Amino acid sequence: MCAAFATTIHTVDTAIDAGPGAAYYRARPYVTARLSQPINGVDVDARWAQWAAHRAATTVTATVLAAEAPPDSLVDAYRAVRVTVTPRGVDGWTGPTQTRIVFCQLAADSGGWRVDSYTTSG
């Protein structure tokens, strides 16, 4: 669940997305109701403007990391995922590749595990 969430929030296509918040909206199926509201508002930043100028889309790879974490319980679990994000424009432009670690706290939900909180580093 953390890998799908991390991949989704980093996958954008400026040709079809109105802004970076679109990726977070697409990630809502992976999160708890508690988290779904705060992720709706994501501001456009300088990076987005550069990507949009090149009509870029991102290529994302995600690797689940073996991180030391408390053992899973019946109600929560912890995961870590490394995401590598490369923006590529339709004009041949390639932006710098960024690598981030996404740490997820998962909560048991009626539909299975869902991301209840997360942090990123990098």
Please write the tens of the pLDDT for every residue from 33-86: 888 875 555 566 788 999 999 999 999 999 999 978 889 899 999 999 999 999
The answer to whether residues 60 and 105 touch, using CB atoms and an 8 Å cutoff, is no
Q: Who contacts 76 (Cβ-Cβ below 8 Å, separation ≥6)?
A: 105, 106, 107, 108, 116
pLDDT attached to residue 88: 98
User: In this predicted structure, what is the pLDDT of residue 19?
Assistant: 87
Q: How far is CA 21 from CA 18, 27, 41, 65, 85, in A?
A: 8, 10, 6, 26, 16
Q: Are the beta carbons of 10 and 58 closer than 8 angstroms?
A: yes
Mean pLDDT of the chain: 90
Give the residue among 24, 33, 19, 18 at the shortest CA–CA distance from 5. 24
